[in-house]
Structure 1
Amino acid sequence: MTTVDNGTVDTGTVAELAELAGTWTVDAAHSLVAFSVVHMTIARVTGRFDVLDGEVDVTASAASLRVRVATASVSSGHPKRDELIRSADFLDSARFPELEFTASATGFSAGDWTLPGLLSIRGVARPVELAVRTGGVVEHRGATRAGFSARTTLDRREFGLRFDGLLAGGGAVVSNRVDVVIEAELVRA
């Protein structure tokens, strides 16, 4: 591994993944799952989930992960909108308390790569691909930490999120396209 200017460690290629072997957990205090949609065809509205957890297991040649997000923890900065997102019209948090993403990967490296996985929302599982950027690895206060950023775009209808409010003059109240941004910091167990 090589230390780069900002103090992080370049994780290199698959051959060097043996150095990352082990079980990692998501540090929720330093991680983020956020989303944005177009509202009333004119502006973007954003939100985030405040409760998440997950594990990543890395061997010398592969990694598997499972991340869970509490749907009731949605926060968009507007309490009435948050209630609507939690309702049966969208996430139905009472019946489906978690979103889940699972994946297995081989051949990933420092820099940009694609992570195919399975996302479950409202009991509907669909394949998705995350565009991932590896942030690096650092040692801090006796712990080894790794960082990753990821993005994807979903069509909410594929997961049963079928709120179809329309504006009087035409156009959707909420776009079908949902952009998702993930910032993850992992700690080796």
Structure 2
Amino acid sequence: MTKITTLFLSAALLSVSTTAISAPVSYAIDTPGMHASINFKIKHLGYSWLTGRFNKFSGDYQYDATNLANSKISVKIDTKSVNTNHAERDKHLRSSDFLNVSKYPESSFVSTSISGSDENMQVQGDFTLNGVTKPITIQASKIGEGKDPWGGYRSGFMGTTEIKLADYNITKDLGPASANVLLELHIEGTKK
């Protein structure tokens, strides 16, 4: 093999290896209520669904379209901002019977791994609520990504998971139908 051929092959391999390696893109999560929301629902006595949301949260994520394993997300939730559209119930939810916001004013989620595909992601991570941290898995999917009308670049995802209240030392007995809470997450981020 001549030196010129070796040089061309080396350049070609270098070109392939650098295009195959991509870096995750960092995004700031949009203001809650505008294009992002953290919602929950729980059965009320087994007869109906009670729905609510957290009005205040913040976070960011990194998304690698070519290798989900390089992606990650971190979210902090202001538990005092719980809102079920009923003032007395929200006051009770903030008490030590449930969220205990005077002692634990913040909940959080930090991913430990992301796998699967854009259409079927498994986002594993540590969820902290009421002073207890447990691993959870969020089933997620990418909604889309692209340029916005203001010269920025955005991407959006949605996910769902279910938690057991007793796992987070929330032991108020609401009956067996109300032991679990379903969480629904809608996240849109702007590229940093």
TM norm structure 2: 0.81
* 1:90 partner letter: F
Q: CA deviation at 1:21?
A: 2.6
Code of the aligned partner of 2:180: R
Residue among 163, 174, 180 paired with 1:154: 163
Say whether 1:137 aligns with 2:145: yes
CA distance in 2, matches of 1:17, 1:157: 43
Distance in 2 separating the partners of 1:36 and 1:146: 25
Quote the offset at 1:116 in angstroms: 0.8
Tell me the SS of whatever aligns to 1:83: helix
State the shift of 1:150 in Å: 0.1
Query: What is the rounded CA distance, in whole Å, between the counterparts of 1:155 and 1:53 in structure 2?
Result: 24
Letter in 2 for 1:117: G
Corresponding residue SS for 2:178: coil
The range that moved more, 57-66 or 136-145, is: 57-66
Q: Secondary structure at the match of 1:30?
A: coil
CA distance in 1 between counterparts of 2:100 and 2:24 reads 37
Distance 2:146 2:103 in 1: 39
Q: Given residue 83 of structure 2, which amino acid in structure 1 is its aligned partner?
A: S
CA drift of 1:109 comes to 3.2
Distance 2:35 2:127 in 1: 22
CA RMSD of aligned residues (A): 2.1
Gaps of 5+ in 2: 1-18
Matched, 1:45 2:50: yes
Q: Out of 15, 20, 24, which is 1:21 matched to?
A: 24
Q: Residue 167 of structure 2 aligns to a residue in which SS?
A: helix
Q: What are the superposed Cα offsets for residues 21-63 of structure 1, whole Å, 9 maximum, x if unpaired?
A: 3321110231010111111221110000010100113456401
Q: Which has the larger radius of gyration?
A: 2
Q: Name the stretch that deviates more: 137-146 or 50-59.
A: 50-59
Q: Percent identity?
A: 23
- Give CA-to-partner distance per residue, 1:119-144, whole Å, 9 cap, x none: 00011000100000111102011111
Q: Which runs of 5+ in 1 are unaligned?
A: 1-14, 166-171
CA distance in 2, matches of 1:122, 1:184: 23
**Displacement of 1:100 after TM fit?**
0.2
- Looking at both structures, which has the greater relative contact order when contacts are Cα pairs under 8 Å and sequence separation is at least 6? 1
Amino acid at match of 2:126: L
What secondary structure does 2:92 align onto?
A: helix
Any residues of structure 2 matched to 1:36-185 within 5 Å, and which?
A: 36-58=41-63, 61=67, 62-140=70-148, 141-165=150-174, 172=175, 175-185=178-188
Does the aligned pair in 2 maintain the 1:49–1:73 contact within 8 Å? yes
How much does 1:113 deviate? 1.5
